[in-house]
Amino acid sequence: MDRARPSTTRRRFLKGAALTAVPYALLPDTRAGAQPQAVDYPSAEWQAASSSNYTVSSRPAAYPVDYVIIHVTQETYADTLAIFQNPQKKVSAHYVVRSADGHVAQCVREANIAWHAGNWGYNTRSIGIEHEGWVDRPAYFTNALYEQSARLTAAICTKYGIPKDRAHILGHYEVPGTDHTDPGPNWDWTRYIRLVNFA
């Protein structure tokens, strides 16, 4: 019997594996940095737009925030996020609200200027909220979408001192110079403003 090499016991193997793993256990988790920026709205998930699709700013110091502009995506939630992440598209909004459950994604920091209104002056002074759906398909305007969006809008209005009324919470179609019709005739403004004020 050759005893030149000692046999590897299970105990020796586990001891070696534990010693090998110790340095890695002391390192920070690389996934901890997966969300490089904290969201402005605590209930939102960070889904960054391409930096080619918005203007870096320091609002409200650089520009006052006076409006919330309501949009409808004319796309699915997932496709809207993909569009905002595509540097060729030159479009973004601060937030996107999903139809089925009202889940909110933040794509642009509120301090920055999202390219959503089609009017530079309004872009500089507003927060844009996109809602998953189509203007001619009211089934997309679910209770969850209205309720979660209203909570988001109420929080934005409170944060920036924006009155919670139709003079300051606008549809995209109300922005001067726009050719858009969203959120369209199926959007229930009376209900929405009521929800914003009771949020």
Q: Phi first, then psi: what are they for 179, rounded to 5°?
A: -110, 15
Strands of the chain, DSSP E: 45-46, 54-55, 67-72, 95-97, 104-106, 113-114, 126-131, 169-171
Q: Taking the CA atoms of the chain, what radius of gyration do you get in angstroms?
A: 24
β-bridge mates for residue 129, sequence order:
70, 95
Catalytic residue (one of 45, 75, 110, 130): 130
Look at residue 68 and give its three-state secondary structure: strand
Neighbours of 14 (CB within 10 A): 10
130 is known as an active-site residue: yes
Please give the distance of CA 24 from its chain centroid, rounded to a whole number. Answer: 33
Largest CA distance in the chain: 93
Is residue 65 a contact partner of residue 110, using CB atoms and an 8 Å limit? yes
β-bridge mates for residue 67, sequence order:
126
State the catalytic residues.
Answer: 130
